[in-house]
Structure 1
Amino acid sequence: MNIKRTSFVLVAFLAFVPLMRVTAETQTTGKGTVTFHSSDSETPPIDPEKPGEVVEPSGPIVKTEGPLRLDLVPKFTFGPQAISTKDQMYYADAQLFKSDTPARANYAQVTDNRGTVAGWELTVKQETQFSNSAAKNNELKGAVLSLDKQWANSTIGQQFQPTIMKDAIEINQIGASYPIATAERGKGNGTWAIQFGSSGETDGNDNTLTPILNADGSALTDPLTKKPMFKNQAISLFVPGKTLKDPVKYTTVLTWTIAELS
């Protein structure tokens, strides 16, 4: 009897999988550095009421240089006036621009890029009385220039705002320096517009600008910018009626000083 046998060979596989182990990490650090230094690069004039916008003022720009500087100082023009024997108050022409920016109050622009935030002071001094050396009555005796409605504006946070002299500044002492604004230590960095008056477009500041009209009631336009002209009632010149005047132009010199605090 034949017996047929069938054999099965079973092969068993045992796979060894490497055991994953977490070992202690080793770390180190690198450095990222940036170095700042004071800058005396030119800062263009800004719109005093919208300080994020660059503007092009009409007329020449008078400025200083250095990390702490004046980018712009105001020019006060009171225009032609009729001779009068009565006390008169004249107002300065408002600031006009070659760009699309509307008329603004007269302003000075200060930049502090020293990086020290050590503070500064802005002052103004009238060097002479309004005068004309070629005139018979060569001086406007008793004339007083006044600056009022001062305020500061910047893209920098208001916590860094300089202290503004809030009272009207009457320059009744020729040759004396009058403080306009003071940035205590820790304040006044960046660029600030120090304004005298306002167009009324910003909250908390009354409009000090009034249009200049021709005899027929139409707006008087500036020959350079072709834009309507305005008077700024925050800048005034008082001239006594008793002061003798000639039909000439009278001028004065104003010295604006930006100084570091000691």
Structure 2
Amino acid sequence: MNKIYIKSAAALAALMLVGPLIAPPVFAANANYDTSGDVKFVTGDTGTKPVDPTDPEKPVTPENPDPTDPVKPPVEVTKGLSLDFASSLAFGKQKISAKSETYYAHGQKILDGNGAVSGIVPNYAQVTDVRGNFAGWTLSVATDGQFREKGTDITSTPETAAPLGTYLTGADLKFSKGVTNGTVTPAKPSNVNSATFSLNTSDQVLMSAKANEGMGTWTYALGATADYDSSARSQDAVAAQSPITLTVPGSTAKKAAAYTTTLIWKLSDTPGN
């Protein structure tokens, strides 16, 4: 019994000696427990409503020069990349002149909540890229041909064979003061055509986005609101200034009639250079 007792006592003594060498628990001032917060993005919806080109965070309701001609809906290039809007142009009702004359385009009319014209903004085109692949794109414009009398079929009645006065032969449509504005400001398209240039049947690049550019909604506007004659709001009004001009030679035969051309705004998923 004694031997057993001694052995047990020795074990207890050993425990008593080791015990004080084990560090007591340490309590921090705060207990941290990490968790995660996740979000996943997918390609967005195309067809963004038109915005004010001077304030791209502000939606607007644009109206064509002819209020009976509705604004066309957005056109999707591919899922997430769309051409949302492009202005139609009006140069008013002009008197026939035997001299060379330059005519000025009206600004883009904007409607208020009651459908009344509340003001103007620069004429513009609008692109939205919410694909999420940062691949870039290119916006260009061309015309389908020279200004001609409304109703003229340019296929069956080309300018070279048309009766005198059918086409505004030699007329020159020019754009100037191009500027871009957008929502994702670090991704501004690097190529913006700010020069003065004539439109024709060849595509003219207005702005293009390289890879890692052009995400979000971007507008290409011709000048600023102050560059337009704000009093020219009716379809027949004669404007006194604009970054968009139509020059018609005095030598061109003109009918007492309405003339028109078609502007072809083109968005492609080809990145800029």
Offset at residue 83 of structure 1 (A):
0.5
Q: Which amino acid aligns with 1:33?
A: D
1:128 is aligned to: 145
2:219 is aligned to: 193
Residue aligned with 1:40, SS: coil
Between the aligned partners of 1:221 and 1:165, the Cα distance in structure 2 is: 27
Offset at residue 22 of structure 1 (A):
3.9
Instruction: Compute the TM-score of the two structures, normalised by the length of structure 2.
Output: 0.73
2:206 is aligned to: 180
Offset at residue 29 of structure 1 (A):
6.3
1:95 is aligned to: 108
Structure 1 residues 30, 211: closer, same or farther in 2, change over 3 A?
closer
Between the aligned partners of 1:87 and 1:230, the Cα distance in structure 2 is: 17
Q: Which amino acid aligns with 2:201?
A: G
2:261 to 239, 252, 256: 252
2:234 is aligned to: 222
1:64 to 75, 87, 98: 75
Q: Which amino acid aligns with 2:123?
A: N
1:209 is aligned to: 228
Residue aligned with 1:109, SS: strand
2:245 is aligned to: 236
2:54 is aligned to: 49
Between the aligned partners of 1:230 and 1:52, the Cα distance in structure 2 is: 29
Q: Which amino acid aligns with 2:58?
A: E
Identity of aligned residues (%): 31
2:188 to 155, 161, 171: 161
1:3 is aligned to: none
Q: Which one is further off, 40-49 or 130-139?
A: 130-139
Offset at residue 79 of structure 1 (A):
1.3
Structure 1 residues 198, 113: closer, same or farther in 2, change over 3 A?
same
Structure 1 residues 141, 230: closer, same or farther in 2, change over 3 A?
closer
Structure 1 residues 51, 198: closer, same or farther in 2, change over 3 A?
same
Q: Which amino acid aligns with 1:193?
A: T
Q: Which structure carries more strand by proportion?
A: 2
Offset at residue 21 of structure 1 (A):
2.7
Q: Which amino acid aligns with 1:196?
A: L
Offset at residue 52 of structure 1 (A):
1.5
2:17 is aligned to: none
Once the two structures are superposed, residues 54-96 of structure 1 have per-residue CA deviations (whole angstroms, 9 ceiling, x without a partner) of: 1111232233124111110110111111111111111111111
Between the aligned partners of 2:250 and 2:233, the Cα distance in structure 1 is: 29
User: Over the residues paired in the alignment, what is the CA RMSD in angstroms?
Assistant: 2.7
2:41 is aligned to: 36
Q: Is the 8 A contact 2:111 2:119 kept in 1?
A: no
Q: Which one is further off, 111-120 or 135-144?
A: 135-144
Structure 1 residues 88, 121: closer, same or farther in 2, change over 3 A?
same
Offset at residue 230 of structure 1 (A):
5.6
Q: Which amino acid aligns with 2:141?
A: V
- The total of aligned residue pairs comes to 222
Q: Which structure carries more helix by proportion?
A: 2
Offset at residue 242 of structure 1 (A):
0.2
Instruction: Compute the TM-score of the two structures, normalised by the length of structure 1.
Output: 0.76
Structure 1 residues 67, 29: closer, same or farther in 2, change over 3 A?
same
Provide structure 1 residue ranges, at least 5 long, that are not aligned to the other structure. 1-18, 200-206, 213-219
